[in-house]
Homo-oligomer: A and B are copies of this chain.
Amino acid sequence: MYEGVVQGLIDELGRLPGVGPKSAQRIAFHILAADPDDVHRLATALTEVKEKIRFCTVCGNVAEAEQCQICRDPRRDPAIVCVVEESKDVVAIERTREFRGRYHVLGGAISPIEGIGPDELRVKELMTRIADGTITELIIATDPNLEGEATATYLARLVQPMGLRVTRLASGLPVGGDLEYADEVTLGRAFEGRRQLDV
């Protein structure tokens, strides 16, 4: 309906998550009216992120180098590892400034309905990290929902024979919610009150 390139842009924008046809049109017209430099910066940011971002070979977090900023930071305690579902969760936890250890990003949670089992997650990589004996505590910070709890229980059972402390973030996180939406105080409390997982 629009001139070719405008419709093309609306179509591409409409493919983004949470952007419906009306929003796509609104954004497209914003782009039409926007400063060319601003649009250029957005286009560059999009391409750069694909060119420069990979996943940390150690923890699976987003990284600009072979290892992410946290894995490269010698001040971070390598003995305590916090296991999360997504890189977004790393950012949420970092905001609390409560945690000085390292992370392991699973890339999701066990979900039989979506066909995601331990093999689809970075569980094998976690086992390899634990095997060298540096890690003494594993804090399981998967989301406090069905899939996250299932993943926590699965990991706890798998890891406990290896003789390290396995903890789960304290309740205080609203059940049924998403970890990334928790406010800093709640998330900080959850860290303080983490408890042993006995299975």
Contacts and interface: CB of A to CB of B under 8 A. Distances in A.
Interface of A: 1-6, 8-9, 11-13, 15-19, 22-23, 25-32, 34, 36, 38-50, 52-53, 62-64, 68-69, 86-88, 91, 94-95, 181
Given A30-B16, A53-B32, A45 B5 contact: yes
A62 B47 CA distance: 27
A86 B48 CA distance: 34
A17 B38 CA distance: 13
Interface of chain A, main secondary structure: helix
Contacts of A29: 86-88
B1 A95 contact: yes
Given A1-B94, A9-B45, A49-B6, A27 B32 contact: no
